[in-house]
Structure 1
């Protein structure tokens, strides 16, 4: 099915008003993305274009850019969250559990939710056997954490027209690839429906910092502008969800981590805004 065949159209004024848990007006779906980049492939992102702009393999410079995030940047993000009592959702390539077990174990011990993010950081449409990839991701996370993931975010938000059916067939109950609304909406599949989870392609340090080349301060300015408007709308339209996504190799570097910390503090200072994991948002929404 095409996406328009999976999701019914509904305007905010046409749906029931749902009250947030414990009076929350906006649930902040804060996502930290951790990935495995294989040196044998072109890098998923580039901070330093190769001379003459032709992709090179092996791309040591951009591999190392990401590797810094896993070695150092992640631990800054972990400390920032622990200091504020925030437990994000971890969007994780399944093989990170094997390739970077210290990272996965620290997140697990801190109570972060594990959300499937492919097995390695390879676009979904380049995977020859999607079913095997999804199954391996779900099983690896289940072995590592003791329970399978209920959420999914495709690498680079990539899908084919059959991906959603495959996810539902492997027990996934929400998917963050459908960035179409400020609340979860049902998505039809060949199995039971799953829910979209409001992620963000704009409150996201990849497009904001690395693609649009904004200064780091844009993260806080844009996040708070969105949060303030959603809080206002929630007064009449009911509780909303705001996605915020960061990556260790971008927001975990020394010259940006302070902006992220200030952003998290600013969010926490707004009455009605509550940090919530995807699993908790899903359970609240289904109950409501």
Structure 2
């Protein structure tokens, strides 16, 4: 990195591991320039042996040694971690990145020293194969330069999109939780194939490749969902019969309502913390 050649990662879970893989693959950071703070000894040893990164059990050590800090811990332990490292944060030296879902920037700014630069990122589980979409928002004291740094870092696990933090609960509801919605749809699609007489292994293969191919078709041709749906839907055919059933059972409305309720829940959790 032009601005930060080293990074300290607090939390060594799956998302942190996905980022480490991306950093090394895209040569954003060298293994010896990554320090991971992780409380579980077995996990520290796994990360060290698998990726040759440095590890520690001390969050304070990570903050003292590194200027760029990525907070990759669960929201429920974030307050404890922030209180532990707060007195070691220097706003002129440190840039704080966080991927904790539902934790607003105000929460960090209340606990960390005044004028600490904070960037909030909402990736999703597709980061595990470097196909995530990450929403990125900056805090009150972070600069455009800081945003560029965050974009560069999170390009290691997929695409990035700059959004105002007021939209972050909606991002969480759509793309943060989205892989679960898509998985539920695919599961039902497979069951539909089985109900029609297909062996499950064949139904799974057909469903997965159909969803994958449809998404790739949209991305590569620029066609929107309505256009692709119209390409497949012939007058009086099987597809329009199925689509009629979807509408009669309220399928589109259920999806809209579910995403909106997830948004309200994310907003509720954010307001409690802020």
When Rg is computed on C-alpha atoms for both structures, the one with the higher figure is: 2
Higher helix share: 2
Q: Of the two structures, which has the highest relative contact order with CA contacts closer than 8 Å and spacing of 6 or more?
A: 1
Q: Using structure 1 for the length normalisation, give the TM-score.
A: 0.29
Q: State the TM-score, normalizing by the size of structure 2.
A: 0.30
